[in-house]
Amino acid sequence: QVQLVESGGDSVRAGGSLRLSCKVSGFSISRDCFGWFRQAPGKEREAVATIYTGDGATDYVDSVKGRFTLSRDNSKNTLYMQMNWLQPDDTAMYYCAVKFTRTCTVLVRPAAYNAWGQGTQVTVSS
């Protein structure tokens, strides 16, 4: 059974940092596309960053480039998103998702993903 579980969300001040984790079970993360998404109240879910675990290729939306960094630990079957210099606009529920096809960029629609986690809340105060 495919399962993704996010953790690491918290409330921080602007300028702070958080590291989100996405623990995967039911399959190995060795060769799939994982996306991190966020959704703020009243807004559509948007892609933040993607990583293709086959070669480690990453993609980020412009608003987080230079601040967010994706990584993975194959031995723990876990993905990470390090978020630095957090701003109030980063406040949202954050989700990880997996897509079992190769195309892996932030332009891929949420509907193309096959499985989602339950989300973890990130709140950034000014």
DSSP state of 126: -
pLDDT-based confidence at 125, cuts 50/70/90? very high
Mean pLDDT of 97-103: 93
pLDDT-based confidence at 6, cuts 50/70/90? very high
Q: Which DSSP string do the residues of 60-115 spell out, in sequence order? A: E-GGGTTTEEEEEEGGGTEEEEEE-S--GGG-EEEEEEEESSS--STTS-GGG-SE
pLDDT-based confidence at 30, cuts 50/70/90? confident
User: What distance in Å separates the CA atoms of residue 11 and residue 113, rounded to the nearest whole number?
Assistant: 28
Q: What is the pLDDT of residue 67?
A: 98
Query: In percent, how much of the chain has pLDDT > 90?
Result: 95
pLDDT-based confidence at 101, cuts 50/70/90? confident
Mean pLDDT of 80-95: 98
User: What distance in Å separates the CA atoms of residue 37 and residue 43, rounded to the nearest whole number?
Assistant: 12
Q: What is the pLDDT of residue 64?
A: 98
Mean pLDDT of 8-33: 96
pLDDT-based confidence at 45, cuts 50/70/90? very high
DSSP three-state, residue 6: strand
| CA distances (Å), origin 70, targets 1, 9, 65 | 24, 15, 11
Q: What is the pLDDT of residue 68?
A: 98
- Is 76:21 a contact under the CB 8 Å cutoff? no
